[in-house]
Amino acid sequence: MKIDFRLNGAAIQVDCAADRRVIDLLREDLGLTGAKESCGAGECGSCAILVDGEGKLSCLMLAAQLEGREITTVEGLASEGRLHPLQEAFVEKGAVQCGFCTPGAVMASLDLLRRNPNPARAEIREGLAGNLCRCTGYQKIIDAVEAASKIMQRRERP
Amino acid sequence: MTQVLLPRALDELWDFLEEDPNTAVYSGGTDLLVNLRGGRINPSRLACLERIEEIRGVRDAGAAVFIGAATTHTHLLENSLVSSEFPVLTKAIRVLASPAIRNMGTIGGNIVNASPAGDTLPPLYALDAEVEIVSRKEAKRMPVSDFIVGPGRVRLGANEIVKGVWIRKAPEFNVRHFEKVGLRKSQACAVASLAAALSLSEGGKIERARLAWGSVGPTVVRSAEVEEALLGRELEIQMLAEVARLVERAVSPIDDVRASAQYRRIVAGRLLLRLAESGCKN
Amino acid sequence: MGEVRRHKRHSEGALHIGASTPRADAYAKVTGAEKFAADYYSSDMVWAGVKRGAAPHGVIKGIFTDEACKAPGVIAVLTHRDIRGSNRQGVVRKDQPVLADKKVRHCGDAVALVLAEDRETLLRALDLIRLDLEALPGVFDVEEALKDGAPLVHEDNAGGNTLLEAHIQTGDGLTAFERCDEVIEGRFETPWQEHAYLETEVGWAQQQNDGKVVIVASTQTPFRDRAEVAEAIGLDLEQVRVIAPYTGGAFGGKDGITVQTLLALAALHSNGRPVKMWWEREESFIAGTKRHPTRLYYRLGAKGDGVLHALAARLYFDTGPYDHLGGVVMTLALEHAGGAYRIPHALLDAWCVYTNNPIGGAFRAFGVTQVTAAMEQMMDMLAARLDMDPLELRLKNALTRGEKTCVGVTLTGSTGLVECLERVERHPLRTERYAWKAAAGPFKRRGVGIAALMHAAGYGTVVPDYANAKIELTPEGKIRIYCGVVDMGQGNASANAQIAGSILNQNMDSMELVLPDTDRTLPSGSASASRCTYTFGNALIGAAEILKNRILQKAADLLMAPSTDDLTLAPGKVVNRATGAQIPLSRLGRLMAESERTAISHFRAPVAKDRLDVTDELRLHGLGHAVISYGAHLAAVEVDEITGAVEVVSYLSATDCGRALNPQIYEQQIHGGICQGLGFALFEDFRVEQGTVKSPDLATYIIPTAPDTPNMESLPVELHEPTGPFGLKGVGEIATNGPAPAVANALADACGIRMFRLPMTPERVLLALRGRETR
């Protein structure tokens, strides 16, 4: 079926099976391999994307559900070669090790910061509770989100 | 390939359901798609309810509140009417799965899924919530405890869906407590949980008590014996430890990969002890 | 494939040792641009998948593939009959079939391989394959497996179900217990631990027109894989190329073959089309290797003043049906069984045993995690018996440089256990522990526990532990490093850039990394054993120094300087300090011949010189190491008396891993190790009943999430290791060993219960608390 939606800021139409998982559509059909699959069952957060600004799991969504939505993947965050402040903080604070959970953790952090622009460390931990990471012990991810929240707030002030 | 339908209104949904009775209905997909992947279900078509406005959102109906079935957990968590009237529900949702799952999963899904470990269920039982069931022809209500008959089993006929849940406001309850015991702090399936709504008098005596346990029986457990035993007493440890023994008898847990029946039984009782802290605060 | 990685960086300055330079790989990973093995797709790609026996033990009577072959979209269905080579793989002993032929020996054994047009077709075809298995009685317990008459996992194994056994006696052995004032005993059980890397086993392969099979795989061991693949399926070594991108986590679980051989076999039958295989999470859990479960019997004797005198230990390792690295894991555990303590008399016995359980294999810290969990609890039990402070007891017995471990290995390198313990001793988490414990809220008990750690690096005395580093000044003026050791997420590729960049005085923008590729980079051993930066870094220093001299000489020639004395490298150029003349590296790169602008250096790690009274077999399995890291950990825990849940509130570590080349990467390794150790201590309970996995996914196998993880402090104790690159020792594994004993000791401190079985789940803790009440 034909499905119209916006992907990383641009309108797009895809023609695919209605029940194709969004993760497969993104990775296999559209070549956007930033979102990762690690469990296929909503337990790990690696496949997180933003749907109309909300963090959702692309392994638990079917292509038909994208109709009319605004989709953001990790590939859509940097603009004109400049990293999003959250990405910048992940790099600088050492939040990236093997990196397979990183795109999902970045997307979950965006969802968190949209709802709570100035979270306490414990709130950041809760916000990332669905994103399993096997390398970092989470501490530097928390550091990165904390640092990014301060930078993003500063930028948003006039 | 399975067809995926996106009805915008209930009338459209009824058409779909009548066309093919083997159409599976879902909203967040956080259970259905997991079951599909595991090969446990094989519907001929899927209908996603996420765009039907009539069954989304929270409505203040005076003495009661209506929550549409397709309302996401995150929406409920951020809703001030829910958190002020039913803090026990908010507390449960706060520890439900993970943020992304809360962004997708819905309260209707949690009810219809009817897992004994469903995190919203103990609060809904403790709040005496009623489920509204609709079909093209009729709408009816029944207590959630009647609606759910066993693990994964509910009283839902062909071409019926859960439209939402009604919860009566109950300001007289001044202790609203929820605790989930899992194998880790977040993203944990409940090994046992307790939702409690109590009215304490100014003197600290329990005047009303509603308690509901999750994951310690085929459905959420309430016990009239336990609730009566609490009436007229004060929230202190010795008394709660005595009543905990009644709880151990009232529940009927099983062994599974997460915990033994023995542990669930013991913990179900011991969770009462935490109420002593509420007693101190009041 | 095999492309060169360039890095976007913002800092202008040259790289230097000791700086927390952000990792070279972080930019591409955080934008989603980095291509992991999982991210390889191509048009016209075939999906390959495996039919598994799904029975713990049975004779294969028949494999019926006709229906699957006939299904539309199925390209090929292969069994052992389609394999021309040895059909055997394994790191030490080649005892694992690629596709099972006579028997299945655990539930994950691969029996048939299917190639299909897409994943849906693949799954349907796998379902159509029927197996006729004659069930055999299985063996699922290590001690049962050693009894006469136990079912045999490998009928042709001379030792029955014993893969490897070892016995080491030092001093007077058991008789020394007669002279002890206190003797403590303990029986410990540790479970399987699943690596649970986020990227499950995955790869992509294609046979080229010239017959060569190119494999891109998530692996720690591309060079060893190449040899194993070639032998198993009957190809020449030159016909196999293995490319190893950054892995999405490995931790030992990709130390050896996972998908590689199956993929190569599939590529031989796909008519030249590329093939992808990606194990689902459940498949990874069932078929992948795990940390070996152990049963450990300990007896520790001391004099009345706390001086350790004798140790006896019997260690049983369940390796499942295949060696994989079981014998080597057991041997490293044996070497660490007595910890970093002066124990003059010891008798240590160990068995690595075949069973029909899942396969035991390498997992970060390689057997040492298990024995440390036991030995460090024994130390606290002894301290309690002697009414001594546990830290004081450890300090009293801690080994220092020049002394021997209880198996007789002399500590010749830097030895910082005492310094690590002293750092913990002075820390507020320890000095203020009584006040903190007293402030516990209702239904809470608090406790503080410590553990002392040692962890040896490298392959041991016999297996050569070497690296070959290659570095190049490109015609574009960039410095290209040919990394021989896989970066599985630990950041060694970045460390390589930092090492070479510091020697050549270049910034990150000038560095290019070629990741391991058997056609392009040089053999340098596995990404394992805390050896990556130590061994490859040493080789790279040599190569970078050679290149530096050549660049300076060429620059001197061109600038007509009398010698290189006045010349110095600066970012992007060479400068004559005397004249101010400059020459860009890009010009030098164009003017130098390839042989001139390319440098190679070899390094071989030092080995223990002790003449240990052990079998050659044990030496071959690695006994005796020369480079050892040390650590001391402290856990502050709060126990909930209502539920039995244990929360680790704060965690402290002090680690002697020599010089930290990049403190940020050092912390990453410590944090990650602690978190995996906490999982092992508290959450991770891989359930297997009669050979069947009962926790097959991330919903039932519980690993720590962000809210479960404490704030961690990681103090570096930077003693200079003379043999290390810039004084470094390995840091990849040691931290994993601390949490289980530190948390167990904290739990004992909090409420007087001793947990002999891991993990310390709320259920086990609550039942232990109730047991204590009723006693």
Query: Are B209 and B129 part of one and the same domain?
Result: no
Per DSSP bridges, beta strands C182-190 and C88-89 are unpaired
Question: Measured between CB atoms, does B74 come within 8 Å of chain A?
Answer: yes
Domain enclosing residue B24, as ranges:
3-48
Q: What pLDDT digit, counting tens, does each position of C510-537 carry?
A: 999 999 999 999 999 999 999 999 999 9
Q: How far apart are CA A34 and CA A104, in angstroms?
A: 9
C8: pLDDT strictly greater than 70 = no
Interface contact A96-C29, CB threshold 8 A: yes
* CA distances to A30, A47, A109, A134 from A34, in Å: 11, 8, 15, 18
CA C237 to chain B, closest CA, distance in angstroms equals 40
Cβ within 8 Å, pair A124-C706: yes
- What are the Cα distances from residue A42, in Å, to A21, A47, B29? 13, 9, 10
Distance from CA of A49 to the nearest CA of B (A): 9
Window from A79-83, B85-89, B174-178, C40-44 with minimum mean pLDDT: A79-83
- The pLDDT tens digits along chain A (158 residues) read 999 999 999 999 999 999 999 999 999 999 999 999 999 999 999 999 999 999 999 999 999 999 999 999 999 999 888 999 999 999 999 999 999 999 999 999 999 999 999 999 999 999 999 999 999 999 999 999 999 999 999 987 65
In a 10 Å sphere around its CB, with 0-12 CB exposed, 13-18 middle and 19+ buried, how is residue C560 labelled? exposed
Cα–Cα dist A34/A74, whole Å: 6
Return the CATH superfamily for domain A85-156.
Answer: [2Fe-2S]-binding domain (1.10.150.120)
Tell me the pLDDT tens digit for each residue of C24-42. Answer: 999 999 999 999 999 999 9
A130 interaction partners in chain B (CB closer than 8 Å): 97-101, 186-187
Average the pLDDT over C428-442 and give the result.
Answer: 98
Q: Which residue of C has its CA nearest to B97?
A: C699
CB C142 within 8 A of CB C330: no
pLDDT digits (tens, 9 = 90+) for B155-175: 999 999 999 999 999 999 999
Who contacts C557 (Cβ-Cβ below 8 Å, separation ≥6)? Answer: none
**Mean pLDDT score of chain A, rounded to an integer?**
97
B179 and B111, same domain (yes or no)? no
CB C612 within 8 A of CB C409: yes
According to DSSP, the β-strands at C345-354 and C162-170 are antiparallel
The structure tokens listed for C638 are 């709060």
How many other C-beta atoms lie within 10 A of the C-beta of residue B239?
A: 18
Mind telling me how many Å the CA of B160 is from chain C's nearest CA? 31
Task: Please report residues of A whose CB lies closer than 8 A to that of B99.
Answer: 55, 108, 111-112, 126-127, 129-130
| C672 closest CB neighbour out of A33, A38, A135 | A135
Residues of A in contact with C711 (CB under 8 A): 121, 139
Cross-chain residue pair C668–A135, CB shorter than 8 Å: yes
Give, in order, the Cα–Cα distances in Å from B280 to each of B173, B232, C207, C640, C656: 16, 16, 73, 18, 48
Residue contact C761–B183, C-beta within 8 A: yes
Contact of B188 with chain C, judged by CB distance below 8 Å, is answered with: yes
Burial B18-42 (b: 16+ CB within 10 A, else e): eeeeebbbbbbbbbbbbbbbeeeee
pLDDT value of position C1: 43
* Token digits of residue C147: 């009894």
What backbone torsions phi and psi does residue C295 show, to the nearest 5 degrees? -125, 125
Q: Are C187 and C297 in contact (CB under 8 A)?
A: yes
The band of C774, judged by pLDDT with boundaries at 50, 70 and 90, is low
Provide CB contacts within 8 A for C375, sequence distance 6+.
C298, C300, C337, C338, C339, C741
Q: With an 8 Å Cβ cutoff, are C707 and B266 in contact?
A: no
Please tell me which residue, B224 or C13, carries the higher pLDDT value. Answer: B224
Contact A98/C705, CB-based, under 8 Å?
Answer: no
Residue with tokens 């998908």: C259
CATH code, domain carrying B19: 3.30.43.10
Decide if C442 and B257 are in contact by the 8 Å CB cutoff: no
- Sheet order of strands, B64-68 included: B58-61, B64-68, B161-168, B130-134, B139-143
- Contact residues on chain A for C196, CB-CB shorter than 8 A: 132, 134
Against chain C, the chains showing at least 3 CB pairs within 8 Å are A, B
pLDDT at C7: 52
In what side-by-side order are the strands of the sheet with C182-190? C162-170, C345-354, C308-320, C294-302, C182-190
Beta-carbon separation of B103 and A112 below 8 A: no
CATH, domain range A2-76: 3.10.20.30
- Residue C562 scores a pLDDT above 70: yes
Measured CA to CA, the distance from residue C666 to residue C490 in angstroms comes to: 9
| Domains, in order of start, for chain C | 26-34+466-604 (3.30.365.10), 39-136+201-278 (3.90.1170.50), 290-460+610-774 (3.30.365.10)
For the beta carbon of residue C116, count every other beta carbon within 10 angstroms.
24
Over residues B225-246, the mean pLDDT reads: 97
User: Using only C-alpha atoms, what is the Rg of chain A?
Assistant: 15
Quick check: B279 pLDDT over 90?
no
Are C690 and C520 a contacting pair, CB within 8 Å? Answer: no
Domain count, chain B: 3
Rounded mean pLDDT of B207-222? 98
Which residues from chain A sit within 8 angstroms of residue C35, using beta carbons? 33
Distance from CA of A23 to the nearest CA of B (A): 13
Backbone angles phi, psi at C146, to 5 degrees: -85, -10
pLDDT band at C2 (very low <50, low <70, confident <90, very high): very low
C285 pLDDT more than 80? yes
Given a contact cutoff of 8 angstroms between Cβ atoms, the answer to whether C343 and C311 are in contact is yes
* Calpha distance A73→C313 (Å, rounded): 54
Indicate the residue of B181, B184, B276 with minimum beta-carbon distance to C683. B184
Distance (Å) from the C-alpha of residue C23 to the closest C-alpha of chain A?
Answer: 7
Closest-CA distance of chain A to residue B272, Å: 26
CA atoms within a 13 Å half-sphere pointing along the CA-CB vector of C594: 0
CB C534 within 8 A of CB C658: no
Q: The domain spanning residue B234 has which CATH number? A: 3.30.390.50
**Distance between CA atoms of C558 and B48, rounded to whole angstroms?**
73
Shortest Cα distance, chain C CAs vs residue A76, angstroms = 8
Residues of A with CB under 8 A from a CB of B: 17-19, 21, 40-43, 45, 48, 54-57, 59-65, 67, 108, 111-112, 115, 126-127, 129-131
Answer yes or no: do B185 and C708 touch at CB < 8 A. yes
Residue A50, beta-bridge partner list: A55, A72
| CB C56 within 8 Å of CB C138 | yes
B260 touches chain C (CB under 8 A): yes
Cβ distance B257 to C695 less than 8 Å, yes or no, reads yes
Instruction: Identify whether residues B66 and B40 lie together within a single domain.
Output: no
| CB of C751 closer than 8 Å to CB of C445 | yes
- Whole-number pLDDT of residue B281: 45
Residues C313 and C337: beta-carbon distance below 8 Å: yes
Has residue C6 got a pLDDT over 60? no
Helices H / strands E in chain A, number of each: 5, 5
Whether pLDDT at C258 is above 70? yes
Taking 50 as the threshold, does the pLDDT of residue B282 lie above it?
A: no
Q: What is the pLDDT of residue B119?
A: 98
Phi-psi region of B29 (alpha: psi -120 to 50; beta: other; left: phi over 0): left
Which residues from B are below 8 Å from C443, CB to CB?
273-274
Structure confidence by residue, pLDDT tens digits, C364-386: 999 999 999 999 999 999 999 99
Contact C267, C207 (CB under 8 A): yes
What's the CA gap between C420 and C59, in Å, rounded?
Answer: 54
Phi, psi of C48 (to 5 degrees): -115, 145
| SS3 labels along C460-500 | CCCCCCEEEEEEEECCCCCEEEECCCCCCCCCHHHHHHHHH
At residue C4, the pLDDT reads: 56
C704:B263 CB<8 A: no
What percent of chain C has a predicted confidence (pLDDT) above 70? 98
- How long, in residues, is chain A? 158
Contacts of B103 in chain A (CB under 8 A): 54-56, 111
Mean of per-residue pLDDT scores for chain C: 97
User: Cis ω on the peptide bond leading into residue C562 (within 30° of 0)?
Assistant: no
Phi first, then psi: give them for residue B83, nearest 5 degrees.
-70, -25
Sign of CA dihedral C507, C510, C515, C518: negative
DSSP-based three-state secondary structure for B165: strand
Q: Which residues of C touch B244 (CB under 8 A)?
A: none
Give the CATH number of the domain where residue B78 resides. Answer: 3.30.465.10
Q: Hey, where are the domains in chain A?
A: 2-76, 85-156
Q: What is the pLDDT of residue C329?
A: 98
